[in-house]
Chain A
Amino acid sequence: MDFLYLMAVNVGIVSALSPLSIGIIRKIKARVQNRVGASIFQPYRDLLKLFRKDEVVSEDASWIFLAAPYIVFGTTLAIASGLPILSPTFAFLPMGDVLVFAYLLAAGAFFLALAGVDVGGAFGGFGGSREMMIASLTEGGLILSLIAAAFLADSTNLSGIAIGIAQLNGTELLPLFIAAGAFFISLLAENARYPVDNPATHLELTMVHEAMILEYSGARLALMEWASANKLLIFVAVFVNVLLPWGTPLFLGGSSLAIGFGWFALKALIILLAIALIESGMAKFRIFRVPDMLFTSLVLSVIAILLVII
């Protein structure tokens, strides 16, 4: 039953470090914009403040609105438990199946969008509509990019994929990089980052994520914010430890724990830097150009799979 400890550690790492990753992105963006920026620990203070605040709930909201933060946050914990964060030492982790990963994400989006519709304002409804448009079009690229890696590694478990890919080299890796590109597009889209959505504001016409959670306050807002931070770190973890698993120790024991964590932190930092730089140097797309980008992700994944299987 050792894998249960590993799953608990995964959940702990993701939920403890996800606010930090948001803080890091904000700090880098601030520095690029010639601002000092808030401390990288600011998101923790924000969450703590929100958990202590009183809450205002819309009269029109039903139990869906009240329960959604717990469901959304709970699913991110469930997803986190199956990731190979320190090491893919168990080639099979019960929660690590690619399709479980993708469909649990969809479940989170489903309840998030419902909560947006529930309050009956114009913001929440349109946020929900756009969220579901983006989520439904992202799903193809997300699943198939991971499946391309799965065919390379001959396993659909995230840990198994990491082990299989770590043993490849040379030209075998070309389809992997294409798939990684496709996955990165899904990462940006699923996490409401540029060029799909603006994570910093809800007062813009193409807002998606922030519009859905507009009516939340207090502890439930904290959960929603924290869940989206979790989701970002989960995507980053899959990107660096499943699709680019180099450096991550394949087996756990003694010092490899620290090595595994060190590599994860280093690689995650590079990706966070990349996201921050993209956000600083790029304008947001018009909403109906986003599907083009998402279909690009789907087509890239299909090309990657074709390169693997033919």
Chain B
Amino acid sequence: MEILAQYGFEAMMIFFGAGAVLSLAFASRKNERIGSTLAHACAALASLVGIAFSVATILSGTTFTASIPGIGIVVENWNVHIDGLAAFFIATISIVALAASIYGISYQRQFFGVYRLGHFGFFYNMFLASMVLVIAANNSILFLLAWEVMTIASYFLVVFERREERNISAGTLYILISQLGAAFLFAGLLLVHQATGSWDFDAIRMLGSSVSPAMTNVILALMLIGFSTKAGVIPLHIWLPEAHPAAPSHVSALMSGVMIKTAIFMMVRFFIEFFPADFSWGLTILALGAISSLLGVLYALSEHDIKRLLAFHSVENIGIILLGVGASVTFFAHDLPAAGFLALAAGLYHTVNHALFKSLLFLSAGSVVHATHTRNMEEYGGLIRVMPWTAAFFLIGAVSISGLPPFNGFVSEWLTFQSLFAGIAALPVFSKMIFLASAASLALTGGLAAACFVKAFGTTFLARSRAETHEKVHESDLLMRVPMAFLALLTLLFGVGASSLTPLIQSIATALKTGVAGGMTLGHPGNAIAVGDFSALSMVAVFVAVIFGIVVTYLLVGIVSRNRKVTLSRTWNCGAPLTPRMEITATAFSRSIMTVFKGLLRPTIQRDAEYHDAEMRYFAKSRMVHLSVPNLYRTYLYDPAASLLEQSALRARRIQTGNLNAYILYIFLTIATLVWWALK
């Protein structure tokens, strides 16, 4: 099995490398059709290999380690370590990458002769390979290297459509904030080196618990900030809704579906496996998760750009994953390992679920954008008639992300609720309160997500078209539909097959800490997932009951009403002619919820009117209402920080007088200080 894992890992890297090289080799305008197809095909092959070896590693429960001879500058060898957790994340990345790569073959055709596809294919393969390396890396240097490549490669994917100005500014924001986050990681990993004397993660595994608590807290604080930046945790999320939508849709699917999960992976490593984190870290992560999930969904509701809406839902779902991870850290700190593993399994399950339905949603949103050439939902409408397959796939994704049974989102939300309930029942009073508040926030989030996706699906696919230009709109081709069908099928399987998957995911969690069992068992009729005697869930029963209910209803109504005629007619509109303007718009749909939460969102309204007669303002020629949700984080956090930095830089400039005597004084003072420090 280890041989398989080793060959699998190497083959995967080779395929990615081949994809990158071939793409550059066929980069000329004449050959770019071949190059683009080859790049995506290589990525798809690599992903297939990745699925095969990572699933085998998970099932066999083995750990694969290997050393790649390094260049010997900082470390002798670049170690790779693929245990159950790493294999789980590689499997997740590979599944999404497989779908995205096949989809990309067809999706990228629209850019032939417009943008440089050779470069795209290169960075695409580098991006995928670096994500896998981030997961597999077993020392700080290789990790940081892969992390930076991941950021830079994805930056070039974000700015791929480089003639759109907003893509460039989104990319700049993305790379600035990513590097800011990476700076915290560099600092943290340098401290780790100082505390343990090694760049190797194995050394941290062994020595992590012997590091002094003060040092541990500093390291964890740096790691939390660094990884939260990549994960898009509020208030460090502001790059995410800009950068994810800017990239081509299959790259958006990868960034939202799996790239941000690498940060979750590293958080699990640092807070659960490497260091014994204090319970206050668990509560901090929990609080961040609760805030991100609730605010994320509220911001999503206020969006009418379909890809930005989905990007904000990534913020929300990262929040839900962090609820599981934070609860898990708290439980381990309070020495409640069974509940800790339950919560971790909930977080991991939601990680893979979110990867599946979010990439499904991005791919189907991509095929809408591909067909209509706009991301503005207000210009869609009625697309279900011209794009029935895309509509069905988007609907499945919408139902899953809203956490509605029997699809997969429900299972992981259920598990997350159970972990929060376990905390409410067992922890000290203060922690109970935080867990209770998180449970309330999760309950609200679930409902609001459903509302948001009624809006997204309804205004995009239902009713009548709002734009006249949609006659040319067409269904996507087979190469784009098959990956979506694959992901849609998986969302259903990961829901109905929960009883087979949860023990597996829990065993991945329990392998991180030795000697204790997890909190979940299988029992009760219907092979239910049971959490003690408290709760049990049988997804098979839910699936059968829902299908049975619908089918029986259909058959009985068919018998009772068999002789009835069905006629088509116009929608009744109080006698007025029916135009697309009668339909509800995306903005109007969420307006009522935004009014309810106006204290949090602080929406602004600006009204303009143009009158027939400026003197007598009774008859308006036209009226405009501008609704917007201001970016509070920029106004109150980032802009003040930026101006502070700028002003202190201006102050610091004063020491550069241009006067030679002053510089000699500085040199003298520096030498004097150094001599004093050396002799001290």
Residues of A within 8 A of B (CB): 3, 7, 11, 51-60, 62-64, 70-71, 73-78, 81-82, 92, 94-95, 97, 99-100, 103-104, 106-107, 109-110, 113-114, 117-122, 124-126, 128-130, 132-133, 135-140, 143-144, 147, 150-151, 154-157, 214-215, 218-219, 223, 287-288, 291, 298, 302, 305-306, 309-310
Contacts and interface: CB of A to CB of B under 8 A. Distances in A.
Closest 10 pairs (CB-CB, A-B): A125-B584, A136-B447, A74-B550, A74-B549, A120-B463, A117-B458, A94-B541, A139-B447, A77-B549, A132-B451
A256 B550 CA distance: 32
Contact of A55 (B391, B410, B458, B565): B565
Contact of B564 (A53, A59, A109, A118): A53
B432 interface: yes
29 contacts: A7-B545, A11-B549, A54-B566, A58-B571, A62-B384, A77-B548, A78-B545, A92-B524, A92-B525, A94-B538, A97-B537, A103-B413, A110-B404, A117-B589, A119-B463, A120-B578, A120-B580, A125-B463, A125-B583, A128-B584, A132-B451, A135-B447, A140-B440, A151-B425, A154-B534, A155-B533, A156-B421, A223-B557, A305-B424
A103 B399 CA distance: 11
Nearest to A65: B462
A179 B523 CA distance: 30
Contact of A120 (B455, B524, B525, B583): B583
Nearest to A117: B458
Contact of B443 (A57, A78, A143, A287): A143
- Chain A binding surface SS class: helix
Interface stretch (B110-118, B127-135, B194-202, B592-600): B592-600
A55 B557 contact: no
Nearest to B579: A120
B591 interface: yes
B623 interface: no
Contacts of A7: 545
Contacts of B550: 70-71, 73-75
Which secondary structure dominates chain B's binding surface?
helix
B535 interface: yes
B216 interface: no
A217 B398 CA distance: 28
Interface string B397-420: 001001111000010011001000
A54 B126 CA distance: 61
Contacts of A95: 541-542, 545
Given A58-B571, A306-B436, A309-B432, A106 B595 contact: no
Given A106-B450, A107-B404, A219-B557, A60 B534 contact: no
Nearest to A64: B462
Interface in B507-526: 524-526
A285 to B, nearest CB: 13
Given A57-B567, A121-B573, 5 more contacts: A74-B546, A126-B584, A132-B451, A150-B534, A305-B424
B545 A140 contact: no
Contacts of B143: none
A132 B567 contact: no
A62 B590 CA distance: 22
A205 B530 CA distance: 46
A138 B584 contact: no
Contacts of B425: 151, 309
Contact of A288 (B536, B551, B596): B596
B186 to A, nearest CB: 41
Nearest to A61: B571
A78 B404 contact: no
Contacts of B404: 103-104, 106-107, 110
Contacts of A74: 546-553
Which bucket holds chain B's interface residue count?
Answer: 35 or more
A97 B455 CA distance: 28
A60 B414 CA distance: 37
A78 B548 contact: yes
A122 B584 contact: yes
B61 interface: no
A120 B462 contact: yes
B73 interface: no
A59 B593 contact: no
B464 interface: yes
B549 A57 contact: no
A187 B333 CA distance: 40
Nearest to A71: B550
Nearest to A153: B534
B567 A54 contact: yes
Contacts of A60: 382, 463-464, 571
A114 B596 contact: no
Interface string B424-438: 110001001100100
B446 A62 contact: no
Given A54-B566, A56-B567, A139-B446, A118 B458 contact: yes
Interface string B159-192: 0000000000000000000000000000000000
B390 to A, nearest CB: 13
Contact of A144 (B440, B450, B535): B440
A167 to B, nearest CB: 15
A55 to B, nearest CB: 5
B448 interface: yes
Contacts of A118: 458, 462-463
B561 interface: yes
Contact of B593 (A62, A133, A298, A310): A133
A150 B439 CA distance: 14
A83 B446 CA distance: 23
B564 A219 contact: yes
A104 B573 contact: no
Contact of B595 (A64, A144, A288): A288
B528 interface: yes
A13 to B, nearest CB: 15
A240 B458 CA distance: 36
Given A103-B403, A156-B534, A305-B424, A223 B584 contact: no
Contacts of B446: 103, 106, 139
Contacts of B648: none
Central interface residue in B395, B524, B528, B546, by most chain A CB within 10 Å: B546
B444 A136 contact: yes
B68 interface: no
Contacts of A71: 550
Given A106-B447, A140-B444, A114 B458 contact: yes
Contacts of B429: 310
Contact of B584 (A11, A75, A129, A144): A129
A106 B595 CA distance: 22
B385 interface: yes
Contacts of A126: 584, 588
